[in-house]
Amino acid sequence: MKKNFLQDVVPSSSKRSIRDIPLPNHKEVRTPRKPKMRDVEPQEEVFETPTYSSYEEPQRAPEPHAYQREEVEEEEEYEAPRKPHKRKKSGSKKIIMAVGIGVLIFFAILIGQTDAKITITPKKTTAEVAIVIPTDGTNKLATKTQLSKSASKTLPATGEQQVEKQASGKIRITNKHKDAPQELVKNTRFQAPNGLIYRIRDSIVIPGYTMNGGTMVPGTLDVEVFADSAGEDYNTSGQVKFTIPGFSGKEQFDKITAENIGDITGGYIGIQKVVSDEAKEQARKDLEQDLQNQFSQDQNQSTEYVLVPDMSTLSFGELQDKAQGDSVVLTLTARVDAYSFVKKDLSNFIGQNSISGASTTDTFTLDTSKLAFLIGEDGIKVSGTSLITYATESEKLQKDFAGKKRSEIAKIIDGYSSFENAKAELKPFWKSSFPEDPSKIEVIIQE
């Protein structure tokens, strides 16, 4: 048998073999990037003699060369810049657009709005007042009227007696007929819806209506009425409207009417508790003094009118008594002729006739409580010292400035003699004229 002389050829140490290639350290073998031609150095080709053996070692992938490993590591460290997400870019555009629209709306509103303001300080002066207001009809400033007041006092009852009492109470007469006063004679009748008749016991004069800014302000007068007959049927509760039968068929019938002020009470026929005559007489004196004090204070109680009572015409009615349990309520009514002034008109008249250089078109305000009013044969004498302030009608000032340009401000202000100081403001600064609508111009009057 011929012997096999073939043996494994072991290459010399100068030549490489697959057995000498070390295994890679990485768990996962990566396929190296194919190097570019300029990076690859020419290698010497090695021819190995094949080895035949019954055992074949598994083939291992060759380890990348050093220069190849460096390129792989560099590839792992480098990250390409990410492109911005399209959705984020779209959201930014929407935010920018919303902000832009908001700014445009803000400026549109700012341009459309105008802040117009006029601030004035009126002139003031202290003047000695000494004038006479005629009451003979040549001056319509004063309106003759009649005032009526009641006062009550409660006393303990001292006995009983048979009585027949007429109900009584106050009514307010309203005059929408004319701006001239309307006189009603003594015993004028007032009829309730149920047909019952009540009367006034003295002649009265109802003031005519006045006009305030185009609105009618009816003339009014409060008076006491008495039932036409005794008895409880004439007692009323709640609101009752009265007409004047004497005006039936005339224009005044619907325009001069009345309503009760509180209940009309006291009507009674039968046994009633009473007080002694001495107690009644003393109560009457006390009530008369109380009513005189009330009339003297009437001049300053109203904010729209000045009332000047003519105390020489003061008269008192009958003392009325009404049982109330074990007590008796005594009521006295007084009447007086008086002159009524619209406070605004009176202030203008006093200012125009008391301030040197004032014209009939100037308007004023003053405290009438500082003045004394004395009724004489030639009229009403007004005297005293008062602080008089020039008045400015805000509505007129608004109309004068409406639609005017900035360049006209000084001219408009110079046209008023009632200002101590005046300042007109117009915002925003680029606005060249005041609003056409007068109500959009604010007027501030500093005291």
The Cα–Cα gap between 305 and 326 comes to 42
| Portion of the chain with pLDDT greater than 70, in percent | 76
The Cα–Cα gap between 120 and 397 comes to 10
> Averaged over 123-141, what is the pLDDT?
87
Q: What is the pLDDT of residue 95?
A: 79
CB 9 within 8 A of CB 47: no
Tell me which range, 77-81, 93-97, 215-219, is most confidently predicted by mean pLDDT: 215-219
Q: Is the pLDDT of residue 139 over 90?
A: no
- Tens of pLDDT, residue by residue over 254-279, are 999 999 998 898 898 999 899 999 99
Residue whose C-alpha is closest to residue 375's, from 337, 322, 342, 409: 337
Write out the E strands in 123-255.
124-133, 142-156, 159-175, 182-184, 189-191, 197-199, 204-206, 210-212, 215-217, 219-230, 241-242
In sequence order, what are the residues at sequence separation of 6 or more whose Cβ sits closer than 8 angstroms to the Cβ of residue 244? 184, 188, 189, 190, 191, 252, 253, 256, 257, 258
Q: Is the pLDDT of residue 54 over 50?
A: no
In sequence order, what are the residues at sequence separation of 6 or more whose Cβ sits closer than 8 angstroms to the Cβ of residue 327? 154, 155, 156, 157, 273
Q: What is the pLDDT of residue 259?
A: 96
Residue whose C-alpha is closest to residue 190's, from 201, 180, 181: 201
> Averaged over 333-360, what is the pLDDT?
89
| Portion of the chain with pLDDT greater than 90, in percent | 30
**Which residues on neighbouring strands pair with residue 395, listed in sequence order?**
none
Q: Is the pLDDT of residue 177 over 90?
A: yes
Tell me the pLDDT band of 1, cut-offs 50, 70 and 90: very low
> Averaged over 283-302, what is the pLDDT?
85
